[in-house]
């Protein structure tokens, strides 16, 4: 079947933002104004569980009024197909943003016009930087009290290190927000009401436009009075992208046409030279049409972005795969979910054509998959399709061997696509079924949730036999258990949250260990010489084979590394994972008969335990970046409380009429913070936090943690 939509007419975009900036509302309006929906539901109307927005269809999303799981929808605008992924704004679900950005070609970053750049906005922006995703900015909620377009633009510049380029100016603000000046067309779009179907009026932009439209607030009038300045900045910045138009402008003063400016804006957005900034109020139905125009005009088609890199077994780039139907099939599985349709594996097709019934290879795992059902998702609705082509985002039903981040490809032309990066979990809880009879069902459900979410980690405590679930935050773990209840019909019980401490070493140690055992029959023998050295934070575990002369046979070296990494999971201080060290295998010895892979693994484990005790081990704790937004009246109390929690104040920022206190606080001190904060500020303050880094635990605190771990271990033995 021939392609029906040219690649150049496709836009694969994500809508990303801090929680409550208006992502889902904007998505709802996009679907309505493109004709994909005949009505829309607002987020605040879903908490009775009787209705839902298109993309927030899960019970947990409706109850909390937030997006938890990214959802894919598609629409058409000006004959362009827009595949939209609405992503969560809460930090606990950053994994959804991470894997979405990995497969998208562009993004709309939504900012709250009052709050400006908020913490999760920064996190999402950095993720987009990592994946080199072109972005446009949309300053939403211009109708709210305290909204300030220029302050938001300034924050984008200073806090994100970006180059924001206003392509619109707001006409009024707060209750008097009427529309926007289009600096490309030099037209004023004025909305006569908030009704969803009321057309806007078009006015010429003249020096007296503020008087004509009844704009009285001095700051709003000042923006309109400076429209020529912003127009000139737009023209100058755009012409940096077009030498011919720049020459004509400089030589004879030829003003570039709107088409030339749009062409330059598109080029500059795609190459990352700047980020166009628009404004509006999605809730009041103002600015969404213009945002849609910007999406198709400025954000890239799959053919406009660099070809995806292919990598070797170690993740090093070795080539690329061009986005074209004529190339062999290659796609990236970026998400796995379980729903009424079974296991759905979401795939971005980067090249070639995938058809129903085709046999393909999972090149990441060396496994084969048979394509049965293929569907195009519209939120939670699955629409069957017969084929998928380069640039498409689809879901495959009931794949057996494929997880998030795996490459699917034509077995005749195998490649591994550039991999995804996932954050490490920082918090853990013990979990068990509410009823013992549900143990098997509960375990199966947990396994499916972990498979679907790479930021979840499941393990069994070796001492107690408890099942430990690790995640990105308390909300993340709570939602996971609640989803198991609703999706798998089995209830779980969660223990108290525990901090995911780490252990590391502070000085180099050389250790020699001989494992020797004789039990009547075959003996066991292995000797290893290993030098352990501390590394910088975040460098993980490095293993280097420096043996010479066959002192440790090459076939046994992987067993030494395996033993070290396994033992590193259980540190010598309090049983936490040991990180940030290099292990150099410098020598050893073996026996022709009594040595094997197992003996060297055992020797490595014992060598690790002995060395760690001599290497001045210390405890590391996760430190969170916390942003507490409070009225000025409570600022002193908030700062004092942060200091009592071993926090370090980094900066204080304006957040509309409030103050945002940015601090670094150990995670262990943040449990129960929301209740205390609400009580201290009469419910008027709020906070967000995200993982920042690991750092050494103060001696007094470390002693208490180690003592508690020893006490717990002793209690389990009794």
**DSSP string spanning 176-201?**
G--EEEETTTTEEEEES-S-TTPPEE
> Over the stretch 454-469, which tens digit does the pLDDT of each residue have?
888 888 876 567 888 9
Higher-scoring residue by pLDDT: 334, 297: 297
Q: What is the CA radius of gyration of the chain?
A: 29
Residue 341's pLDDT is 57
User: What is the mean predicted confidence (pLDDT) over 603-617?
Assistant: 96
Phi, psi for residue 611 in degrees, rounded to 5 = -70, -40
325: tokens are: 């139907």
Residue 339's pLDDT is 67
Q: What share of the chain is helix, strand, coil (3-state, %, to 5)?
A: 30, 30, 35
Return the top range by mean pLDDT from 97-101, 351-355, 668-672.
Answer: 351-355
Please answer whether residues 605 and 491 qualify as being in contact, where contact means their C-beta atoms are separated by less than 8 angstroms. no
pLDDT of 379 strictly over 50: yes
> Over the stretch 643-663, which tens digit does the pLDDT of each residue have?
999 999 999 988 777 899 999
Please answer whether residues 301 and 107 qualify as being in contact, where contact means their C-beta atoms are separated by less than 8 angstroms. no
Which 3 state secondary structure label does DSSP give 136? Answer: strand
pLDDT of 63 strictly over 70: no
Other CB atoms closer than 10 Å to residue 401's CB: what's the count? 14
Residue 427's pLDDT is 82
Q: Comparing C-alpha atoms, which of 125, 5, 140 is closest to residue 74?
A: 5
User: What is the mean predicted confidence (pLDDT) over 391-413?
Assistant: 90
pTM here is 0.74
Spell out the long-range contacts of 590-593 with Cβ–Cβ below 8 A and sequence spacing 24 or more.
590/525, 590/526, 590/527, 590/551, 590/552, 590/553, 590/556, 591/523, 591/525, 593/522, 593/523
Length of the chain: 718
Integer Cα distance of 390 and 354 in angstroms: 9
> Over the stretch 662-683, which tens digit does the pLDDT of each residue have?
999 999 998 888 788 888 988 8
Q: Comparing C-alpha atoms, which of 474, 430, 480 is closest to residue 453?
A: 480
Between helices 119-130 and 149-160, what is the axis angle to 10°?
50
> Over the stretch 180-196, which tens digit does the pLDDT of each residue have?
999 999 999 999 888 87
**DSSP string spanning 598-646?**
HHHHHHHHHHHHHHHHHS--EEEEEEEEEEEEE-GGGHHHHHHHHHHTT
Residue 93's pLDDT is 63
Which 3 state secondary structure label does DSSP give 157? Answer: helix
Residue 52's pLDDT is 52
Please answer whether residues 336 and 403 qualify as being in contact, where contact means their C-beta atoms are separated by less than 8 angstroms. yes
> Over the stretch 17-51, which tens digit does the pLDDT of each residue have?
888 889 888 988 998 999 887 676 665 554 554 44
**Percent of the chain having pLDDT more than 70?**
92
Average pLDDT over the chain reads: 88
Other CB atoms closer than 10 Å to residue 148's CB: what's the count? 21
The band of 382, judged by pLDDT with boundaries at 50, 70 and 90, is confident
The band of 90, judged by pLDDT with boundaries at 50, 70 and 90, is low
């Amino acid at each position: 079947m021939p392609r029906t939509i040219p690649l150049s007419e496709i836009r694969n975009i994500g809508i990303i933002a801090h929680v409550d900036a208006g992502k889902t509302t904007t998505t709802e309006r996009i679907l309505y104004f493109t004709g994909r929906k005949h009505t829309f539901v607002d987020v605040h109307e879903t908490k009775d569980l009787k209705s839902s927005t298109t993309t927030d269809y899960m019970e947990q999303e409706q109850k909390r009024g937030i997006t938890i799981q990214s959802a894919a929808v598609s629409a058409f605008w000006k004959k362009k197909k827009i595949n939209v992924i609405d992503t969560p704004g809460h930090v606990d679900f950053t994994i959804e943003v991470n894997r979405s950005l990995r497969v998208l070609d562009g993004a709309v970053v939504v900012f709250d016009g009052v709050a400006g750049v908020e913490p999760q906005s920064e996190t999402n922006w950095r993720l987009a930087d990592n994946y080199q995703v072109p972005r446009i900015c949309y300053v939403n909620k211009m109708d709210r009290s305290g909204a300030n377009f220029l302050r938001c633009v300034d924050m984008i510049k200073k806090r994100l290190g970006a180059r924001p380029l206003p392509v619109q100016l707001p006409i009024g603000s707060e209750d008097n927000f009427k529309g926007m000046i289009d600096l490309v067309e030099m037209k004023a779009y004025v909305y006569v009401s908030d009704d969803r179907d009321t057309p806007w009026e078009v006015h010429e932009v003249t020096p007296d436009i503020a008087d004509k439209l009844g704009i009285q607030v001095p700051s709003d009038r000042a923006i309109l009075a400076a429209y020529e300045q912003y127009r000139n900045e737009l023209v100058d910045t755009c012409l940096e992208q077009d030498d011919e138009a720049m020459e004509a402008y400089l030589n004879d003063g030829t003003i570039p046409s709107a088409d030339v400016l749009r062409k330059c804006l598109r080029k500059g957005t795609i190459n990352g030279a700047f980020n166009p900034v628009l404004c509006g109020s999605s809730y009041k139905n103002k600015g969404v049409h213009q945002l849609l125009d910007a999406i198709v005009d400025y954000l890239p088609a799959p053919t406009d972005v660099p070809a995806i890199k292919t990598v070797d077994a170690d993740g090093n780039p070795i080539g690329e795969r061009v986005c074209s139907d004529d190339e062999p099939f290659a796609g990236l599985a970026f998400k796995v979910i379980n729903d009424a349709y079974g296991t759905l594996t979401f795939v971005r097709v980067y090249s070639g054509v995938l058809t129903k019934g085709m046999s393909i290879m999972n090149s990441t795992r060396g496994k084969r998959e048979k394509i049965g059902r293929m569907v195009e998702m519209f939120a939670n609705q699955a629409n069957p399709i017969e084929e998928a082509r380069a640039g498409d985002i689809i879901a495959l039903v009931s794949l057996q061997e494929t997880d998030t981040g795996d490459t699917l490809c034509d077995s005749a032309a195998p490649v591994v696509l550039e991999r995804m990066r996932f954050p490490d979990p920082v918090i853990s809880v013990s979990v068990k079924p509410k009823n013992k009879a549900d143990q098997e069902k509960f375990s199966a459900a947990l396994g499916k949730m972990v498979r679907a979410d790479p930021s979840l980690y499941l393990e069994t405590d070796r001492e107690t036999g408890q099942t430990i679930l690790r995640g990105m935050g308390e909300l993340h773990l709570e939602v996971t258990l609640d989803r198991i209840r609703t999706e798998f019909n089995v209830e779980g019980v969660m223990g108290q949250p525990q901090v995911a401490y780490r252990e590391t070493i502070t000085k180099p140690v050389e250790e020699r260990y001989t494992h020797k055992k004789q039990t009547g029959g075959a003996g066991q023998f292995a000797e290893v010489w290993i030098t352990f050295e501390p590394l910088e934070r975040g460098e993980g575990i490095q293993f280097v084979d420096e043996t010479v002369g066959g002192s440790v046979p090459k076939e046994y070296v992987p067993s030494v590394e395996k033993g070290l990494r396994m033992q590193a999971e259980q540190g010598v201080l309090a049983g936490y994972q040991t990180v940030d060290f290099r292990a150099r295998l410098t020598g050893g010895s073996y026996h022709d008969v009594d040595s094997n892979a197992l003996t060297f693994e055992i020797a490595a484990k014992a060598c690790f335990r002995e060395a760690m005790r001599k290497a001045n081990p210390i405890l590391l704790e996760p430190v969170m970046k916390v942003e507490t937004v409070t009225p000025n009246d409570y600022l002193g109390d908030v700062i004092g409380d942060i200091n009592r929690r071993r926090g370090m104040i980094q900066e204080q920022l304006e957040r509309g009429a409030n103050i945002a206190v940015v601090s670094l606080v150990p995670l262990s001190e943040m449990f129960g913070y929301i209740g205390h904060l609400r009580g201290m500020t009469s419910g008027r303050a709020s906070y967000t936090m995200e993982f920042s880094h690991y750092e050494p635990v103060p001696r007094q605190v470390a002693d208490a943690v180690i003592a508690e771990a020893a006490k717990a271990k002793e209690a389990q033995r009794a």
